[in-house]
């Protein structure tokens, strides 16, 4: 046996996996979950837009609460889509994503 043969497997550079454009993957959000999350983001954005159309209100407390919840739902659904559809899921790890 040659001296270099023992070390060949560990000293060769490992091939890096091919990079995906923008790190996009549907591995963690597949099946019916992806269309539901996309629909949630679209509908919450539509709710924000519809709320902004209202110019006059008698008691605006409910309208402001609706604005807060619809905007929060839109931002959180975008965050979920970004985490599950990019490399962030692998970067942080499944346990930290589930904790978050």
**Which of 85, 87, 83 has the alpha carbon at shortest distance from 16?**
87
Q: Distance (Å, rounded) from C-alpha 59 to C-alpha 32? A: 39
Q: What pLDDT was estimated at residue 24?
A: 65
pLDDT, one tens digit per residue, over 38-84 is: 898 999 999 999 888 888 888 888 888 999 999 999 999 898 888 87
Instruction: Look up residue 23 and give its two tokens.
Output: 């790190």
pLDDT surpasses 80 at 90? no
Closest C-alpha to 97, from 36, 40, 28, 41: 28
Contact 68, 48 (CB under 8 A): no
């Amino acid at each position: 046996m040659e001296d270099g043969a023992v070390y060949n497997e560990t000293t060769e550079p490992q091939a890096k996996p091919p990079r995906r454009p923008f790190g996009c993957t549907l591995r963690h959000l597949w099946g019916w979950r992806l269309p539901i999350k996309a629909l949630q983001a679209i509908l919450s954005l539509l709710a924000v837009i519809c709320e902004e159309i209202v110019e006059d209100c008698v008691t605006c407390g409910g309208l402001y609460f609706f604005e807060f919840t619809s905007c929060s739902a839109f931002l959180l659904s975008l965050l979920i889509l970004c985490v599950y559809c990019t490399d962030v899921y692998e970067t942080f790890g499944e346990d930290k994503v589930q904790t978050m």
